[in-house]
Amino acid sequence: MLVRLLCLATLLLPVSALAQAMGEEAKVCNDVGLSGFDYDEYRAREWPQEAQRIKGDAPNVARQDNRLRLEIDGGKVVDLYDCLNGDGSYGYLYERYDGPGGFYVVGTPAYEDFYYTLVMKKTGKTFAIPALPVWSPDRSRFAYAVCTLLNARAQIAVMGMVGGQPKLQGEVPLPCISLGGCRIVWESNTVVSADCHAHPGQASSRELVRLTRQGESWMATTSNR
**Segment 6-41, tens digit of pLDDT:** 333 223 333 333 444 457 888 888 756 666 678 888
User: For residue 50, what are the CA distances in angstroms to 61, 68, 92, 119, 217?
Assistant: 11, 10, 10, 17, 38
Q: What percent of the chain has pLDDT over 90?
A: 58
Of the ranges 135-144, 167-176, 199-208, which one carries the lowest mean pLDDT score?
199-208
> Which of 89, 107, 183 minimizes the C-alpha distance to 144?
183
> Which backbone phi and psi does 41 adopt, to 5 degrees?
-65, -40
pLDDT reported for residue 100 = 97
**Segment 65-124, tens digit of pLDDT:** 999 999 999 999 999 999 887 777 889 999 999 999 999 999 999 888 899 999 999 999
Cα separation of 18 and 84, whole Å?
21
**Segment 39-49, tens digit of pLDDT:** 888 899 999 99
Mean pLDDT estimate for the chain: 84
